[in-house]
Structure 1
Amino acid sequence: MIQRHGVLLGEIDAGDAALPPSAERADVVVVLGGDGTILGEARRCLHLGKPMLGINTGRLGFIAEFELHDLEAQAETLLGNGSIETRRLPLIQTTVESPDGTRAEVGLALNEAVIAAGPPFRVIELEMSIDGKPGPTFRGDGLILSTPTGSTAHSVSAGGPIAHPDVDALIITPIAPHSLAFRPIVVPGDARLELLILRANGDEAAAGTTLLLDGQVARRLGTADRVMLRRSERSARFVVNPRGHYWSTLTHKLRWAEAPRLRHP
């Protein structure tokens, strides 16, 4: 299909380590898969600066704006010489400072950055600050910082709000907080969140408290580590489906606001 309407410069599997040199000449990166594949390829192809066209071949495909039948119906416009609309989606930049002051960039997240308690799954303790101002000390199973894109992923499963992708915000969602008063909160998109690990899980022999980016990139955390999270200056570009809209995606894929009904076997 691509060759009928454009030029196919190359095909690679999601697990391939490196992109071919021809990727630099591409006008658009077409990704077939589910949300996990698209999240991984968004990070891997970010340096190209090319828009990504996500085609859902997975189960849900919330990030992918197109199904295979959409591509077939709009191939001439999307893959030929027609103009395409794109949307920039924010990324979260993550930095970890060790107790000795050494800093390491962990990576970028399109959906969310999660500090997860990890085995043996005791309560962890985090000292929070936002924009350099002291915040609460959190005790619980973990904490999620999500973008509006990621608000319908791990965050919403933990009770966080859904945010429209055009909203300039970040969402802080606790995981099983040891407090009835710690509710999810929406903060400005340029807010800087800093978390000092007061108590972590794990030891030298076993994985424990972990920083997870989009559920794919992991970094072990220990007591006295400091995690710094903020919106990156870089963003991911995605091709917009001109025949779709956000509210349709919410209702059809997440069944948003759908009334309860009996399903007969």
Structure 2
Amino acid sequence: MTLNDVVVDRGPSSYLSNMDLYLDGRLITSVQGDDVFLVLCSCDRVDAATTGASMIHPNVPAIIVTPICPHSFSFQPIGVPAGVEVIIMLSLDARNTAWVSFDGRKRPAL
């Protein structure tokens, strides 16, 4: 179970990650960059702010989705309601795999 954050990153690859972001089964955007950072509770929102995300009041149940070093500025950090299903998948045109970390632990390849 994840309590604070999830990071999807490019791992040791020199290529940027190509990932698709879905919210409740709907494609929202494709992300090309180093990482995608998801903050799941109020205790890590300061970390999200250091990556460029907006501050959200701790009493607001939300997930903050932040691209790290995006290739394009078209995808800015967003806050979504805590009940939304967030899916991050490798794009079909991805050149490499991605890795996922839950609270900084267990970093398997996708």
With normalisation by structure 1, the TM-score equals 0.38
Q: Aligned to 2:36, which of 120, 143, 146?
A: 143
User: In the aligned structure 1, how far is the partner of 2:95 from the partner of 2:65?
Assistant: 19
User: Which residue does 2:107 correspond to in 1?
Assistant: 218
User: In the aligned structure 1, how far is the partner of 2:109 from the partner of 2:29?
Assistant: 23
Q: Aligned to 1:171, which of 64, 67, 78?
A: 64
Q: Aligned to 2:46, which of 148, 152, 161?
A: 152
Which has a greater percent of helix? Answer: 1
1:125 aligns with 2:42: no
User: Which residue does 2:5 correspond to in 1?
Assistant: 112
- Structure 2 residue identity aligned to 1:163: I
What is the aligned-residue identity percentage? 29
With normalisation by structure 2, the TM-score equals 0.86
Q: Say which structure, 1 or 2, has more relative contact order (CA 8 Å, 6+ apart).
A: 2
More divergent stretch after superposition (113-122 vs 193-202):
193-202
What's the C-alpha RMSD, in Å, of the aligned pairs? 1.6
- Count residues in correspondence: 107
1:187 aligns with 2:80: yes
1:124 positional shift: 0.8
- Computing the radius of gyration from Cα coordinates, the structure with the larger value is 1
1:181 positional shift: 1.9
Please, which runs of 5 or more residues in structure 1 have no aligned partner?
A: 1-107, 203-208, 222-265
- Structure 1 residue identity aligned to 2:68: I
Measured against aligned partners, the alpha-carbon deviations of 1:76-102 in whole angstroms (never above 9, x if no partner) come to: xxxxxxxxxxxxxxxxxxxxxxxxxxx
1:201 aligns with 2:96: yes
Counterparts in 2 of 1:109 and 1:212: CA distance versus 1, 3 Å? same
